[in-house]
A and B are shown apart, each in its own frame.
Chain A
């Protein structure tokens, strides 16, 4: 290290530090963006209520990974939250694949064009003679209550029409598989059962 370099390092060390920090941050974000799972590899769930344990995401991912799913994300909002209507409409109905909400909330939602029609499910939520959702049975709610805080009312699980994983013009049926999994309470296992 020659003398002039040492002298200049005294003044320019900030540049070396900034360059290193910038290089690390830029690549961190670039790799994150480049390798982000595609919408067809992601299941986003909107839950109208409180999420107790986010490890459900890992459990669901382990169940769905055979279908090529790389990420399961849960968004939630309390029904009595002031921002619920806005978040339900923006995130739940337009940004998520599966919506789990109180029957009373779904009753106030226009289902036609908002939720995908379901076939081959039992205990379905009907509107104008069409099946749009599945009622979560008591056994399913009991199994899921380790992860979600359910009230006393009925809960319905639906697939958003905009979902690429089960909606109109879907590219995969991952949301249907997911819905079948959570509706079929016998297959929902908590970590303690594992």
Chain B
């Protein structure tokens, strides 16, 4: 099955939108609860209201930092990659896979495929979860976009 950058882009965008919606809902809940606690403290001993507000605000703050530095940033990086893939032309080349190593760039987990092709040694990227497997020492017909393998067919020796 061939990878479609456009479909991946749409899927990732929907996932990111869902994550953002959850974040906004949590933010609204946090704001509501903390303002309510502030209002409830009027005319009372406010120490425990203040401590409760501090605790939920620290928790929300950490969640916000985690959200924007982890899943949100990862999503943006993936969208950027899919956009680059969509914009680039498809190339096809036959080569022998020399090695497959785990590789992380911009927090996108993928596999670096070192392949010996007609043009020499090439480093190709195989996205995690791609619907095909590549094994070393086998010959494949690689279809790539922006150096990312979107399809590969095993070739007879």
Given contacts A4-B70, A16-B65, A23 and B58 within 8 Å (CB-CB): yes
CB contacts (< 8 Å) of B38 on chain A: these are: 30-31, 34
CA of A8 to CA of B49 in the docked complex: distance in angstroms?
Answer: 33
CB contacts (< 8 Å) of B60 on chain A: these are: 23
Q: Which of under 10, 10 to 19, 20 to 34, or 35 or more describes the interface residues of A?
A: 10 to 19
CB contacts (< 8 Å) of B46 on chain A: these are: 31, 34-35
B65 x A12 contact (CB < 8 A): yes
A16 x B62 contact (CB < 8 A): yes
Out of B43, B54, B104, which one reaches A27, CB within 8 Å? B54
Residue from the set B43, B46, B69 with the largest chain A CB neighbour count within 10 Å: B69
A20 x B50 contact (CB < 8 A): no
CA of A10 to CA of B42 in the docked complex: distance in angstroms?
Answer: 41
A31 x B53 contact (CB < 8 A): yes
A35 x B42 contact (CB < 8 A): yes
- B37-82 with Cβ < 8 A to chain A: 38, 41-43, 46, 49-50, 53-54, 57-58, 60-62, 64-66, 69-70, 74
A19 x B104 contact (CB < 8 A): no
CA of A34 to CA of B39 in the docked complex: distance in angstroms?
Answer: 8
B41 x A24 contact (CB < 8 A): no
CA of A19 to CA of B58 in the docked complex: distance in angstroms?
Answer: 7
B58 x A20 contact (CB < 8 A): yes
CB contacts (< 8 Å) of B54 on chain A: these are: 23-24, 27-28
CA of A109 to CA of B46 in the docked complex: distance in angstroms?
Answer: 42
CA of A86 to CA of B33 in the docked complex: distance in angstroms?
Answer: 45
CB contacts (< 8 Å) of A23 on chain B: these are: 54, 57-58, 60-61
Given contacts A34-B38, A34-B42, A35-B46, A27 and B57 within 8 Å (CB-CB): yes
A15 x B41 contact (CB < 8 A): no
B70 x A5 contact (CB < 8 A): yes
Out of A19, A27, A30, A31, which one reaches B65, CB within 8 Å? A19
Q: Mark A83-121, 1 if CB is under 8 A from B, else 0.
A: 000000000000000000000000000000000000000
A-B complex: 8 closest residue pairs judged by Cβ atoms: A19-B61, A23-B57, A31-B50, A20-B58, A27-B53, A23-B58, A15-B65, A27-B54
Which residues of B are in contact with A by a Cβ distance under 8 Å?
Answer: 34, 38, 41-43, 46, 49-50, 53-54, 57-58, 60-62, 64-66, 69-70, 74, 104, 107, 109
A-B pairs with beta carbons under 8 Å apart, 18 shown: A4-B70, A12-B65, A12-B69, A16-B65, A19-B61, A23-B54, A23-B57, A24-B54, A24-B57, A24-B58, A27-B50, A27-B53, A27-B57, A28-B54, A31-B38, A31-B50, A34-B46, A35-B46
